[in-house]
Structure 1
Amino acid sequence: MTVGTAGVPALSAGRRAWTVGLMCSAVGLVIAMVTIVNTALPALAADTGVSQAQQTWIVDVYTLVLAALVLPAGALGDRYGRRGVLIIGLVVFALGCAAPLVGDSPAWLIAARAVTGLGAAMIMPATLSIINASFRADRRGRAIGIWAAVAGIGGLGGLIVAGLLLQHFSWQSVFLGPAVLAVLMAVASATVPTSREEVTHTFDTVGAVLSALAVGSLVFGILRAADLGWAHAEVHVALAAGLLLGVLFAWFETRHPAPLLDVRLFTNRAFATGSVSVTVQFTAAFGALFALAQYLQLVQGYSPLDSGLVLWPIAVSLFPLSLASAHLARRFGLLAVTCVGLSIVVAGMVLLGRLGPDSGYPALAVAVCVLGGGLGLTAPAATSAILDNVPPGKYGVASAVNDATREVGAALGIALAGSVLSATYTSSVRPSTEALPEAARQAADGSLAGALAVAERSGPEGGRLVDAAQEAFSHGMWLSLLALGGIVAAGIVAVACLRVPRSG
């Protein structure tokens, strides 16, 4: 069924539920693919011999391509039909996931992940815009809440799925499973309604290229900061290029008769508030998940599977509040819900940061439950604010703005948490490693995993090294999560002080 932008398709309740379920499954798969590969990386590296730098690119190129191309992909859905772009994206995603099954050279694996990122860029905005176009404005809040909840815990789902697969199968299984699921979803997606803009126009190719280069440069710089540090020249050049290209993109779009993205949307307070909120939410969420994945396995001793399962309390608060978020925003106002929700996220960051080697499970459960509550309260309201302030013909682009801010925020969170954690850990553990041989000292200073490996070979002295390294890591995690909380707090101040004029 094809519908114009002026109306909403007449769907039965069952058909709407099917559409929401399928779109949420697709976006959940896209988000989960990040943590799925992270979890499988040690086994993959041991089998293929890829270097540390190559491992970094196997992980990061997916996020880089997804973030760079999501805005052009959303515009393509608006122009040519969202269902068609979704199906093509699922097929491309499946091909990218299946590629490691037929080759395992470093270049092949990196290229395969880039192709998977391209498919993900086509999938993400299509899922949200299809949901948005399938419901009347007064009925889409709950559907968007479910979508936002699934997107929010997709990374956790990836940890659990990867852990289950790796317990019984080789690392190739974490690519085969998503490939099969993507094919099944592509077939099933032929049953969902489609929509596109009613007034056709020439596709803004220059805007698409400029947006891809701007976002790509910005995300590349943030990702490289995690490895090289924020003071490195390569990071500075990439970030500066991203900002300059972003300014050029904005200048060009204001002069284009049919822009890829009408940048004047950011002068709408609700649209701008939603964009800032989504960015800082995902900065906090992915930065916290990055630190927690190591804390749970290397400090608390959980297996990869168990480290995902023990985070289940996040869903206890996230899902109910996600369903109520849009209603609460209408009742109390977007600004109030955003500020309260982000304040709860800050509280969750503080509680998580206070976890140490001797912390029990109740402290972890309470902390992630608080974090989930903050994310559940803010994420759907922010997404609705972005989508509700564009015409129906631009749902794909608006969805892509929502997705791009998520990816930029996620990259920033991982880079910030990683850099603060690494620097603090090294400086804190160094007094306990000075007497070690040079090679062992470098390994122990480099990471907690390295320190634990050295401790295993150090006899009775190893116990003291383990204690010192775990304390140093916990201190680094506290400071990294405090930094993430500071970013969220800055977001609260930004949206509270936002006084841009409403768009006409």
Structure 2
Amino acid sequence: MPPALVLLVLCTATLAISLATTAINVALPSLAVELGADNRQLQWIVDAYNLLFATFVLAFGSLSDRFGRKGALIGGLAIFGGGAVGASFADSSGQLIFWQAVMGLGAAFVYPTTLSILSNVFTERAEKAKAIGIWGATTGLGVACGPILGGWLLESFWWGSVFLALAGAALISIVASVAVVTTSRDPATPRIDYGGLVLSVLAVGTLVFTIIEAPEHGWTSPASLAGFAVTAAAFIALVFWERSRAEPMIDVRLFTNMRFTAASASVTFAYFALFGFIFLITQYFQLVRDFPPLETGLKFIPVAASIAVGSVLGTALAVRYGNKVVVSTGLVLFTVAFLWISTLSASTGYLEIALQMVPLGLGLGLTSAPATEAIMGAVPRDKAGIGSAMNDATREVGGTLGVAVIGSVYASLYASSFAESDVARELPAPVVSVAEESVGSATVAADRLAGAGAPDLGRSLSAAADSAFLDGLTAGSYVAAGVTLLGAVVAALFLPSRPKDEVPQQHPGAEALTPPGGRR
């Protein structure tokens, strides 16, 4: 089959998985009403997908190398699509959380498989870089366009239509994959590393679960500290176990290769910032500016378009000028964007907001696509599944950490700012307690006050909540700017200055051992 056609099919599958990451966000207000979901349940409706995705992506990436990538792709799409159908007809928040978890399990098969197949179809570096740029653009577009799809469907249909659309995309991808994609696997057919599988699931799963729960319990609470301790122990055990295996699931020598490690860190920093941005700006549009779901989704078009442009340009520039310059520039653009976003007010014009999104989207494209190409270039093609899975795991951990950390900073500043407002002194303690939970809760409380014959007090409450939200958004933006600036420093210090050839097939650690000028 023509490589371009294979790339189109792989990008279609990738788009479905990426859309699912954020499409549900604009439906959360509807779910709160129709399913009676509280804030905790709403959080898990989103996080169940990410938790299962991140937990199993390393294990499933390794298994796809062994048993065949085409079968893993089709099977993962079937699981994802089946979960989406189940989610569309869920009649309780618990059922929806379960089906979101099933979708995440399917995504853990699909995502690494698409990139590993791509790496085996495109073998010449410039062509592979171009293909990865298109794949990266599709990934970023899916994340950014999720709210657009969700908003458009919610404008005319019920919230379950979002999941039915994702199921349809999965079905189309299955049919196309059967017809177009040829199978590939690791020809060495190594034995299954059961210890590595179990330890990777335990390490990544515990880490992501602890990050998700930490804002609820406190970052230094006994539960959080215990979770991080288990995570550390599991990762240490994984390293020792893999070093002792003749055929490890993950060759930990890869982490001595700065091309691989610094690129992975750059992806983590980028998705930390992206998901933190989506978390904050979606609430800003819907709760502070009162935009309906469709209009909220359409507001993301500038960031989606700039991600696409940045991804395609990024890999082309990286081949010519090196990953160091391109990736560090992308992270600096992220920093500039968040410093600008920190100036948002309740009356900021959309033109200014759209302009703020441009450096953010370009920053993601210039960072993520070249860093992904560097990661895959550091891994032999026979092990492309686990290399892709490592790339996907860094995205998921970075995104989950971004929402948790930025969300925690925002929530803390929001609550303290609202508590110190003048209107908080005029309200009954139970109303203040509700309004301090979130700006959405404050909106509900304000509506109740208006309905109870106190419209002026309700308007004052809403204004105070909006002001408190903006205080939290500013603080969260500063955190994101600091993280991306740190990422730019890491990229500038450790990524290669110039593009080089890829590592040879037989030795994933060889790049770190090969003298300058030798084949990598």
- Could you tell me how far apart the structure 2 residues matched to 1:151 and 1:247 are? 31
- Could you tell me how far apart the structure 1 residues matched to 2:226 and 2:123 are? 45
- Could you tell me how far apart the structure 2 residues matched to 1:273 and 1:292 are? 29
- Could you tell me how far apart the structure 1 residues matched to 2:191 and 2:369 are? 32
Identify unmatched segments of 5+ residues in structure 1: 1-10
State the secondary structure of the residue aligned to 1:419: helix
State the secondary structure of the residue aligned to 2:226: helix
Aligned partner letter, 2:99: A
Q: What's the counterpart of residue 475 of structure 1?
A: 471
Deviations, residues 166-221 of structure 1 (Å, cap 9, x unaligned): 11111221222211221221121112122111111111111011001100011111
The answer to whether structure 1 residue 323 and structure 2 residue 312 are counterparts is yes
- Alpha-carbon offset, residue 125 of structure 1: 0.3
The answer to whether structure 1 residue 220 and structure 2 residue 209 are counterparts is yes
- Could you tell me how far apart the structure 2 residues matched to 1:359 and 1:195 are? 52
The answer to whether structure 1 residue 67 and structure 2 residue 54 are counterparts is yes
Q: 1:170 aligns with which of 148, 158, 162?
A: 158
- Could you tell me how far apart the structure 2 residues matched to 1:166 and 1:221 are? 32
- Alpha-carbon offset, residue 142 of structure 1: 1.4
Q: How does 1:438-453 map to 2 (within 5 A)?
A: 438-453=429-444
Q: 2:492 aligns with which of 458, 473, 496?
A: 496
Deviations, residues 385-409 of structure 1 (Å, cap 9, x unaligned): 0001111101110000000000000
Q: How does 1:14-413 map to 2 (within 5 A)?
A: 15-101=2-88, 103-137=90-124, 138-190=126-178, 191-413=180-402
- Could you tell me how far apart the structure 2 residues matched to 1:107 and 1:317 are? 37
Structure 1 contact 264–503 (Cα < 8 Å) conserved: no
- Alpha-carbon offset, residue 472 of structure 1: 1.5
Structure 2 contact 145–300 (Cα < 8 Å) conserved: no
Q: How does 1:410-489 map to 2 (within 5 A)?
A: 410-432=399-421, 433-456=424-447, 457=450, 458-489=454-485
* TM-score normalised according to structure 1 size: 0.94
- Could you tell me how far apart the structure 1 residues matched to 2:495 and 2:72 are? 37
- Could you tell me how far apart the structure 2 residues matched to 1:254 and 1:189 are? 36
Structure 1 contact 322–379 (Cα < 8 Å) conserved: yes
Aligned partner letter, 1:122: F
Q: What's the counterpart of residue 504 of structure 2?
A: none
- Could you tell me how far apart the structure 1 residues matched to 2:298 and 2:215 are? 27
State the secondary structure of the residue aligned to 2:300: coil
Structure 1 contact 267–503 (Cα < 8 Å) conserved: no
- Alpha-carbon offset, residue 382 of structure 1: 0.2
Identify unmatched segments of 5+ residues in structure 2: 497-510, 515-520
Deviations, residues 304-338 of structure 1 (Å, cap 9, x unaligned): 21112112112343222211212212222211222
Q: What's the counterpart of residue 7 of structure 1?
A: none
Q: Percent identity?
A: 39
Aligned partner letter, 1:489: L
- Could you tell me how far apart the structure 2 residues matched to 1:259 and 1:484 are? 36
Comparing 82-91 and 106-115, the one that deviates more: 106-115
- Alpha-carbon offset, residue 357 of structure 1: 0.8
- Could you tell me how far apart the structure 1 residues matched to 2:30 and 2:306 are? 34
Comparing 157-166 and 456-465, the one that deviates more: 456-465
- Could you tell me how far apart the structure 2 residues matched to 1:337 and 1:17 are? 25
State the secondary structure of the residue aligned to 2:138: helix
- Alpha-carbon offset, residue 53 of structure 1: 2.8
Aligned partner letter, 2:456: P
State the secondary structure of the residue aligned to 1:354: coil
- Alpha-carbon offset, residue 353 of structure 1: 1.7
State the secondary structure of the residue aligned to 2:512: coil
Structure 2 contact 259–494 (Cα < 8 Å) conserved: no
- Alpha-carbon offset, residue 37 of structure 1: 2.2
- Alpha-carbon offset, residue 230 of structure 1: 1.6
- Alpha-carbon offset, residue 102 of structure 1: 5.0
- Could you tell me how far apart the structure 1 residues matched to 2:301 and 2:96 are? 31
- Could you tell me how far apart the structure 1 residues matched to 2:305 and 2:98 are? 38
- Alpha-carbon offset, residue 485 of structure 1: 1.4
- Could you tell me how far apart the structure 1 residues matched to 2:405 and 2:208 are? 13
Q: Structure 1 residues 105 and 449 mapped into 2: Cα distance closer, same or farther (>3 Å)?
A: closer
Q: Structure 1 residues 499 and 386 mapped into 2: Cα distance closer, same or farther (>3 Å)?
A: closer
Q: How many residues align?
A: 491
- Could you tell me how far apart the structure 2 residues matched to 1:189 and 1:51 are? 39
- Could you tell me how far apart the structure 1 residues matched to 2:89 and 2:461 are? 43
Q: Structure 1 residues 302 and 495 mapped into 2: Cα distance closer, same or farther (>3 Å)?
A: same
Q: Structure 1 residues 335 and 122 mapped into 2: Cα distance closer, same or farther (>3 Å)?
A: same
- Could you tell me how far apart the structure 1 residues matched to 2:305 and 2:150 are? 22
- Could you tell me how far apart the structure 1 residues matched to 2:263 and 2:407 are? 26
State the secondary structure of the residue aligned to 1:166: helix
State the secondary structure of the residue aligned to 2:249: coil
Aligned partner letter, 2:479: A
Deviations, residues 125-180 of structure 1 (Å, cap 9, x unaligned): 01111112111223111111111112113122111111111111112212222112
Comparing 371-380 and 313-322, the one that deviates more: 313-322
Structure 2 contact 78–106 (Cα < 8 Å) conserved: yes
- Alpha-carbon offset, residue 46 of structure 1: 2.2
- Alpha-carbon offset, residue 499 of structure 1: 8.9
Deviations, residues 80-110 of structure 1 (Å, cap 9, x unaligned): 1111100000001111111134542444322
Runs (4+) of structure 1 moved beyond 4 Å?
A: none
- Could you tell me how far apart the structure 1 residues matched to 2:513 and 2:489 are? 22
Comparing 251-260 and 400-409, the one that deviates more: 251-260
Q: Structure 1 residues 353 and 177 mapped into 2: Cα distance closer, same or farther (>3 Å)?
A: same
- Alpha-carbon offset, residue 370 of structure 1: 0.8
Aligned partner letter, 1:70: V
- Alpha-carbon offset, residue 300 of structure 1: 1.9
